Amino acid sequence: MTSASNFCVEYFRRVKAGGRLGHAYLLGGLSGDPAAAAGFAAARVILCPQDGCGACTVCRAIDAGASPDLHVLRAPADKRIIKVDAVREVILREASMKSHSCDQKVFLLVDAHEMNDAAANCFLKTLEEPPGNSVMLLMSDRSDKLPPTIASRCFRLRLTGSVEGTESLLDAGSVGAIVHRMATEPLETNLEIAESIGALCKGENLDQRRRLALEFLDTIMVHCRHGLEAKGPLAAVDSEILFDQIDRVADAQRWIDSNVNAGLVFDDFVTKFLLIQGAGGPIRSRR
Ligand SMILES: [Zn+2]
């Protein structure tokens, strides 16, 4: 299993156990078959009574592509466009029906950005009033091509990502070094760091500030993902804390996607990051 699939398994086990399963997730960084594989791994955890055991009838049906509760929407290989008819057929009709064998239904959209405008509008209606027992998994390595109205209703997670690419966009030194300091240094130092991060996100206009804040948060998410694989500046941080941070980053991104003032969201994010330290002392190390 790839690290992206492993992450999906761990992440969704965690939110399911905590009763915090959301209605819609935007899983970024992969496309095509690898994205589908990670989506299937997540769907197994969500639908299987034993959190994706791989052996029960639910898991076996998913692996065989025959699960009545997993609905996959994907563009035909030769077209690269998801049309509105497909959204109606796969999502609207199924979402209104009761689940077959489980409490949940999962809708997996592979390369969700390939929805054309009509398909995206149609899908948005389902996202606005999600059926109580459904989970939408949108896989996309081009989430910038999705309408903000869709992205803002999803919890964003990064499955892969290069730290270097996002850092150069910020043009402000090593974000990795800042993240490491935030995770390991005392509260007083962190207040200084918070100020420097705030300065990073003061772009010339609102769009630029939003983009910078999202880029920065994205970079923190990638660092947390690397940390879970015992790589990078967060390699020694406890995995529970990294998962908490990932949730926090995704929350902050969703607020920014929803057009809430990026500066306020960022301050809130940093304050909560600091509160972890303030309440629990130095972050626990697993080494
Ligand atoms: Zn199972």
- Which residues 6+ apart lie within 8 Å of 28 measured at CB? 140, 141, 143, 156, 157, 158, 159, 161
Element (H, E) at 161: none
Element (H, E) at 8: helix 3-17
How far away, in angstroms, is 48 Cα from ligand 1 center?
4
Element (H, E) at 137: strand 134-140
Query: Both tokens of residue 154?
Result: 């999803």
How far away, in angstroms, is 58 Cα from ligand 1 center?
5
User: How do the pLDDT tens digits run along the chain, 287 residues long?
Assistant: 678 999 999 999 999 999 999 999 999 989 999 999 999 999 999 999 999 999 999 999 999 999 999 999 999 888 889 999 999 988 888 777 766 665 789 999 999 999 999 999 999 998 988 877 899 999 999 988 999 889 889 998 988 876 554 444 444 445 556 666 666 665 555 556 566 666 666 666 777 777 777 777 787 788 888 888 888 777 888 888 888 888 888 888 887 777 777 667 766 776 665 554 443 333 433 33
Domains of the chain and any CATH numbers = 3-158 (3.40.50.300), 163-280 (1.20.120)
- What's the CA gap between 141 and 31, in Å, rounded? 6
How far away, in angstroms, is 241 Cα from ligand 1 center?
27
This model's pTM is above 0.75: yes
How far away, in angstroms, is 54 Cα from ligand 1 center?
5
Query: Both tokens of residue 60?
Result: 């076996």
How far away, in angstroms, is 105 Cα from ligand 1 center?
15
How far away, in angstroms, is 63 Cα from ligand 1 center?
10
- Other beta carbons within 10 angstroms of residue 134's beta carbon come to 20
How far away, in angstroms, is 82 Cα from ligand 1 center?
30
Ramachandran angles phi, psi of 26, nearest 5°: -110, 105
How far away, in angstroms, is 59 Cα from ligand 1 center?
4
Checking phi first, is residue 52 left (phi over 0); if not, alpha (psi -120 to 50) or beta? left
Cβ–Cβ under 8 Å, residues 92 and 122: yes
How far away, in angstroms, is 23 Cα from ligand 1 center?
21
